Amino acid sequence: MEIGNQWPLIVLHNVNASSKCTEFVRIGSAFGFRTLIITQAQGSAAQNGIPSAQKLALKNKLNFLALYSVEDVIELFNPEQVVLIAPPPFGKENLSQGVIDEIKAQKTVVVFGGNDPGLSRKDLDLGRTVQLSVGDIGSIATLSLTLALLKHGNNLLPE
């Protein structure tokens, strides 16, 4: 799989609901992200969600992978940075325009928790932890808002 200029890579980690898999692909595609990865899918997400998400990704001409762990993503793609979007208070910094600019400027893997909260302490040690300043709004809302900000920016974000 050739990634080329398709950075950042967007990862949904630790998901067990099949509907979240297809929502992830639908949202990622809508905002123009071309490489979407699901890691640590369990239960109905693994049985039904991954095949449905893959079908949707193929229809939208996206790169789509299902891998075991975030560590596998790091090993395969060797990013310059890993940014984990955590619910408050687990992020060490707020998502700001400066952070968005750094994500866009580097080969970055952006990881979202698929469950609430979705990211363990061990997961959070894999990279830079960032949170939305709006509070804990749930996994799919966090994904949607963050991808919108990555795609379109927002001059209301603090520097």
Q: Is residue 59 packed enough to be buried (19+ CB in 10 Å), middle (13-18) or exposed (0-12)?
A: exposed
The predicted pLDDT at position 135 comes to 80
- How confident is the model at residue 35, as a pLDDT? 97
Tell me whether residue 83 is exposed, middle or buried, using C-beta atoms within 10 angstroms of its C-beta: 0 to 12, 13 to 18, 19 or more: buried
Cβ(140)–Cβ(27) below 8 Å: yes
What pLDDT score was predicted for residue 6? 84
Q: What is the pLDDT of residue 156?
A: 46
Task: Supply the pLDDT for residue 21.
Answer: 97
Residue-averaged pLDDT of the chain: 91
Q: What pLDDT is attached to residue 55?
A: 97
Residues in the chain with pLDDT values less than 70: 1-5, 117, 154-159
| 128-131 β-sheet, strand order | 63-67, 35-41, 9-15, 108-113, 81-85, 128-131, 93-94
Q: How many residues does the chain have?
A: 159
Q: What is the pTM assigned to this prediction?
A: 0.93
Domains and CATH numbers, the chain: 9-152 (3.40.1280.10)
